[in-house]
Homo-oligomer: A and B are copies of this chain.
Amino acid sequence: MTNGEATAPRTLWDRSRQLASREILEAALRLFGEQGYEATTVAQIAHEAGVSQRTLFRYFGTKEDLLGGDPDRFVRALTAAIDELPADAGPWEALRTGIAAALELHESRHQALQRFRVLYATPSLRAGWLEKQLRFHERALPLIASRLHGSPGDADLMARAMIATAFACLDVAAKAWVDRNGKGEILDLYDRCVSAART
């Protein structure tokens, strides 16, 4: 819930930048919720936010980015959380900690639910989301591989398998959370998914 960066905007530019960004995001989320993702055109969002289409694309490179936000923030939170763990923490514990940290980035429970709802209601969006997760996989790879103690030749493959499994479970858990209208905790569902996968 608490997002880490409270960067005080010094210049007027930064301030209006932030303002525009926020207004675009709000308009987008509202329209997506009202009429669905596909039925909402970028032109419409830009008009509602009071900016030109070109400017919208300067802030958010693609229409998908209007939902996902900045992926780098997630990567940073995830890797930072894992880095702080003691060296003897196992790979599964590390993954769980990183995912928990990434989930904390949502501004509010309500906004998280709103986002996930649109996400799981639109197949193409979900695909884009999965693609973004692949970048997390790459970044997490060295952090997880170093916590394995088996044969070093298989370390890369094993680490990849574990990471992929963890994020697959996260996906299932988030979807289940949406299906239950945000009742309960995603992390609890995640734990149950992982334990089921490792049975």
Contact = CB atoms under 8 A, between A and B. Distances in A.
A80 interface: no
A12 interface: no
Interface of A: 123-124, 126-128, 130-131, 134, 154, 157-158, 160-162, 164-165, 167-169, 171-172, 175-176, 189, 192-194, 196-199
A131 B134 contact: no
Q: How many copies does the complex hold?
A: 2
Nearest to A135: B123
Contacts of A157: 172, 176, 189, 192-193, 196
Nearest to A167: B168
Contacts of A167: 168
Max chain B Cβ within 10 angstroms of own Cβ: one of A124, A154, A165: A165
B198 A158 contact: no
Contacts of A126: 131, 134
A134 B124 CA distance: 11
